[in-house]
Structure 1
């Protein structure tokens, strides 16, 4: 949170806003969305995006787009890729193992659904981005001014020029701004190498970005006191999201340790036991979506629900693959909007996007993605996918 605030304050996010043509920006949005969707497909990419948000916001606003576009083409695309993935080890992989199905089985129908869903998401993101581009100059400057002013009032007057609204400074990147961006990219590259070769986790990522924030603050001219004050301002912006995620986690622990979640899941699934197979499968999709709100972990939800839904599927004559599809799509797509998803709330806070603002964008696309999921489940039941 502190590093995000520092990078946003030290880089003129609106420099060059509106300078690119819609066609040029569209290609960038499509390319970035595909890259992050692939990350979601392969490893369920989400938390790792938090450190990239400052760069993505700058990229989006320099193309003339808004901050929602930055979140949509990164976290949104990654969540969608993970939800429809045929190979995500933390989602469908765990569920198939618990359901005693061969890993990567049913990949063909999942791949078709993935292609359709990603195409819909990218089309929706591009449509929103083009709408934002038509009036990009003023909104981008206003968003940047608000971000900078959230930090600047608490800093010493001598530091005010460093955190002045971007509209009040030269639109091109100054050398110190370029240095800050290079530091962010270097930190992310370091984390990627560490994660791949040294098995780094969230502790190492936190330490790395703490160092990044300190070095970026000093390189940007904030000095020690200004860097510390900017960190505090960044933490303040994250308090609401952190409290929400913490309370949600506490509720989940109480429900889990008290064996209440099992009762809730069983109660939600009981009404669908006597329904026709196709309707019951769609009911499973709805139940899995609801359950993901208090259980925001996809792998945790698999461990919790798959041992319950697989015997139920056997009794109703449904294939276990269909039960896994319902879990995969319900839990995965719920990550697009559930406020208990820590990665989502952290990315929104880092990008300076209000939760309500995100909901206005994501709900229509979520409903379209759920339609694709429901259609896939209906087809899977009809053709007897195993």
Structure 2
């Protein structure tokens, strides 16, 4: 090959999807440019039960206040400062879950369930799916599900099933639990903070949504597995063959592991009680995560240095996702400084206001699903969407709780199918499943999820779903 041909080959680089930070910076620039073009305006606001709300019909054009070049970069600093509480919530959650995971308690518990359920395929699929769904709903397992997909592969191999089942009972179950998110600090916690709702309020309807979504996911997975067991030709992937090089992992489930999981379960239950009884906030949750991680490390027998480094390693793993909140907030800072945020809300209120509240709530769900293609970060999307969607909900007759769940469903479901979702693509790579085959398998289930979500949102509107 000549030197010219080599240079041509180097120049023809494969196009790749821009990183989330790149997309957010482009949005930040676009918001700054918009302050020169979009008319500035503002709504009147009133305080109702300690919560500031937009007064519908009071929008008025105000003096233009475009932002400068330096203001764009100052907005990044301001966004980080204003989002500090949420950023540290995510970082400390990462530290806590890293300590729990490194103790071996999660893996030991899962493998113990596998050993107890051998020969009972349905029960095994159901139990493993529920465990991962609970992990997703509480934020204990989200992006960290990727290494657990390998356990799913071993399980599917033992049951003579295919790799799609392996992904479904680990990644799929995690993210459908994440979508209900009744105790999820990364999405519901962040969204509640922005929407000025009591932390993890409205939990009853979210638990109902969790039961329905996880139940239908288990049914769908088992229907596919049962059809496959009767006729292996029905598989989209083929049976996972035995791998002599991969020895079955024997992970003990020790007394320490049981104590750690019991402590974490009791601690999270106490936190729910404290939120209701003592009105704890996201700041309390961040601090409590440190307590949970510290005690878990002590039970695991970690010395002070190992415990510290493990906690910090968990924080480091979530720096990428945590700082997205600050960058996303910078976009809102620019729009607020340029006085165009209320203009955007007013523009969105016109088409949604023409719909019934139920259709408006479903419209929010669809809009969040589309937006998540470009910003596949739950906490980052909450930081961008909720400041706009909160006053919008006030104006169109949708409660803020319904608005939060519309965001939650839109973010969670789409992360299970969009190729821009990093955890999805990594999980598929671990199991060796092509994205096309996964999408073909998931699409009917995705439609079922969406119907359930629309029903939950409709119920939320009808019962005027509020803080409780």
Fold similarity call, TM over 0.5? yes
The aligned residue for residue 375 of structure 1 is 455
Q: Pick the structure with more helix per residue.
A: 1
Is the alpha carbon distance of 1:177 and 1:334 closer, same or farther for their aligned partners in structure 2, counting shifts above 3 Å? closer
The aligned residue for residue 39 of structure 1 is 135
Q: Is 1:199 the counterpart of 2:311 in the alignment?
A: yes
Cα shift at 1:269:
6.8
Cα shift at 1:312:
0.8
Between 106-115 and 70-79, report the one with greater CA deviation: 106-115
Q: Which runs of 5+ in 2 are unaligned?
A: 1-116, 262-291, 298-309, 319-323
The aligned residue for residue 249 of structure 2 is 181
TM-score normalized by the length of structure 2: 0.54
Q: Give me the CA root mean square deviation.
A: 3.8
Is the alpha carbon distance of 1:132 and 1:185 closer, same or farther for their aligned partners in structure 2, counting shifts above 3 Å? farther
Bigger CA radius of gyration: 2
**What are the Cα deviations for residues 43-96 of structure 1, in whole angstroms up to 9, with x where unaligned?**
162321221222321210220111000100111011000101211111111101
Is the alpha carbon distance of 1:256 and 1:66 closer, same or farther for their aligned partners in structure 2, counting shifts above 3 Å? farther
**What are the Cα deviations for residues 293-342 of structure 1, in whole angstroms up to 9, with x where unaligned?**
10100110000000001111111122111111111111111111011110
Q: Is 1:24 the counterpart of 2:123 in the alignment?
A: no
Alignment of 1:1-386 (within 5 A): 24-43=120-139, 45-136=141-232, 177-178=246-247, 181-182=249-250, 197=297, 198-199=310-311, 201=313, 271-386=351-466
TM-score normalized by the length of structure 1: 0.65
1:79 and 1:332 in contact (8 A); partners too: yes
Is the alpha carbon distance of 1:70 and 1:378 closer, same or farther for their aligned partners in structure 2, counting shifts above 3 Å? same
State how far apart, in whole Å, the 2-side matches of 1:182 and 1:204 are. Answer: 29
Cα shift at 1:278:
1.5
Q: Which runs of 5+ in 1 are unaligned?
A: 1-20, 145-165, 207-248
1:55 and 1:184 in contact (8 A); partners too: no
Cα shift at 1:134:
2.5
State how far apart, in whole Å, the 2-side matches of 1:71 and 1:117 are. Answer: 17
**What are the Cα deviations for residues 230-271 of structure 1, in whole angstroms up to 9, with x where unaligned?**
xxxxxxxxxxxxxxxxxxx9xx99x969x89x99x8677763
**Matched positions, count:** 288
2:134 and 2:177 in contact (8 A); partners too: yes
